[in-house]
Amino acid sequence: MQVSSASRFLGMGGSVAPDSGYDARARMVISLLASIVTIIISSVEGQLMLLGASLLYALSIRRFKALTIAYLFVAFMMGLATLCTWGLSSVAPFVSFTFKGLAVPFMRGLVMLNVVLPLALTCRIQDLLTVLKGLCLPFCIYLPGAVMIRFIPTFMNDIKQIAEALQIRGYTLTLGGMFRHPLLVLRLLFTPLLFRSLRTSEELGIAAELKGLDAQSRFVPYRSPVWSRKDTLLVAAALTVIAAALACHYLLGRAPVAGHM
Amino acid sequence: MSLLSQWSARELVVIGIFAATAKVTTLIVALAGGGMNPLSLMGKNLVFTTLLIVMLCKVSRPGTLTLFTVINSIVSMLLMGASVTLLPPLLAGALLGELAMWPGRNSTGLWPKVAAAAVFDVVTKALSLGVSYLLTRENAGMMIMIVPFVLIGYMGSLGGLYTGVHAVKELRHAGIIRQ
The tens digit of pLDDT for each residue in B82-127 reads 566 778 888 999 999 999 998 887 777 888 999 999 999 999 999 9
User: Among B105, B11, B75, which Cα is nearest to A215's?
Assistant: B11
Mean pLDDT of A69-87: 80
Tell me the C-alpha distance between A200 and B76, whole Å: 22
> Given this model, what pLDDT does residue A257 score?
47
Q: Of A100-109, A180-189, B35-44, B160-169, where does the model show the most confidence?
A: B160-169
User: Please, which pLDDT band fits residue A52 given cuts at 50, 70 and 90?
Assistant: very high
Q: Which long-range contacts (CB under 8 A, 24 or more apart) does A244-249 make?
A: A244/A49, A245/A37, A245/A41, A245/A46, A245/A47, A245/A49, A245/A50, A245/A53, A246/A37, A246/A40, A246/A41, A246/A46, A248/A43, A248/A45, A248/A46, A248/A48, A248/A49, A249/A40, A249/A41, A249/A42, A249/A43, A249/A45, A249/A46
User: Please, which pLDDT band fits residue B32 given cuts at 50, 70 and 90?
Assistant: low
Work out the angle at residue A173's Cα, subtended by the Cα atoms of residues A171 and A179, and round it to the nearest 5 degrees.
120
Q: Do A38 and A114 meet the contact criterion of CB atoms below 8 Å apart?
A: no
> Given this model, what pLDDT does residue B34 score?
57
Q: Do B53 and B161 meet the contact criterion of CB atoms below 8 Å apart?
A: yes
User: Please, which pLDDT band fits residue A14 given cuts at 50, 70 and 90?
Assistant: very low
Q: Taking CA atoms, what residue in A is nearest to B36?
A: A77
> Given this model, what pLDDT does residue A6 score?
37
Q: What share of chain B is helix, strand, coil (3-state, %, to 5)?
A: 85, 0, 15
> Given this model, what pLDDT does residue A13 score?
38
User: Please, which pLDDT band fits residue B36 given cuts at 50, 70 and 90?
Assistant: low
A176 vs B contacts (CB less than 8 Å): none
Mean pLDDT of A162-182: 77
Q: Do A133 and A221 meet the contact criterion of CB atoms below 8 Å apart?
A: yes
Which one of B28, B47, B78 has the shortest CB-CB distance to A131? B78
Which one of B5, B32, B138 has the shortest CB-CB distance to A100? B138
Please tell me whether the interface predicted TM-score (ipTM) of this complex is above 0.90. no
Residue B64 has pLDDT above 80, yes or no: yes
Q: Taking CA atoms, what residue in A is nearest to B159?
A: A183
Give, for A233, the enclosing helix (H) or strand (E): helix A229-251
Helix (H, G, I), strand (E, B) or coil at A137: coil
User: Among A158, A134, A160, A161, which Cα is nearest to A146's?
Assistant: A134
> Given this model, what pLDDT does residue A235 score?
92
Tell me the C-alpha distance between B48 and B22, whole Å: 6
Number of CB atoms found within 10 A of residue A232's CB: 12
User: Please, which pLDDT band fits residue A95 given cuts at 50, 70 and 90?
Assistant: low
The DSSP code for B105 is T
Domain definitions of chain B by residue range: 8-173
Is A143 within 8 Å of B13 when comparing Cβ atoms?
A: yes
HSE, side-chain direction, 13 A CA sphere, residue B95: 6
Is B16 within 8 Å of A147 when comparing Cβ atoms?
A: yes
Alpha helices by DSSP H, listed for A60-98, are: 64-91
Query: In angstroms, what separates the C-alpha of A147 from chain B's closest C-alpha?
Result: 5
User: Please, which pLDDT band fits residue A5 given cuts at 50, 70 and 90?
Assistant: very low
Tell me the C-alpha distance between B129 and B122, whole Å: 11
> Given this model, what pLDDT does residue A15 score?
41
> Given this model, what pLDDT does residue A74 score?
81
Q: Which long-range contacts (CB under 8 A, 24 or more apart) does A237-246 make?
A: A238/A29, A238/A30, A238/A33, A238/A34, A238/A53, A239/A33, A241/A49, A241/A50, A241/A53, A242/A33, A242/A37, A242/A50, A244/A49, A245/A37, A245/A41, A245/A46, A245/A47, A245/A49, A245/A50, A245/A53, A246/A37, A246/A40, A246/A41, A246/A46
> Given this model, what pLDDT does residue A178 score?
67
> Given this model, what pLDDT does residue A261 score?
38
Mean pLDDT of B158-164: 92
A vs B: CB pairs below 8 A: 210
Lowest average pLDDT, out of A13-22, A164-173, A174-183, B29-38, goes to A13-22
Residue A217 has pLDDT above 90, yes or no: no
Q: Do B105 and B136 meet the contact criterion of CB atoms below 8 Å apart?
A: no
Q: Taking CA atoms, what residue in B is nearest to A113?
A: B81
Phi, psi (rounded to 5 degrees) for A240: -65, -45
Tens of pLDDT along B86-96? 788 889 999 99
User: Please, which pLDDT band fits residue A239 given cuts at 50, 70 and 90?
Assistant: very high
- Burial of residue B168, with CB atoms counted within 10 A of its CB: 0-12 exposed, 13-18 middle, 19 or more buried: buried
HSE, side-chain direction, 13 A CA sphere, residue B23: 30
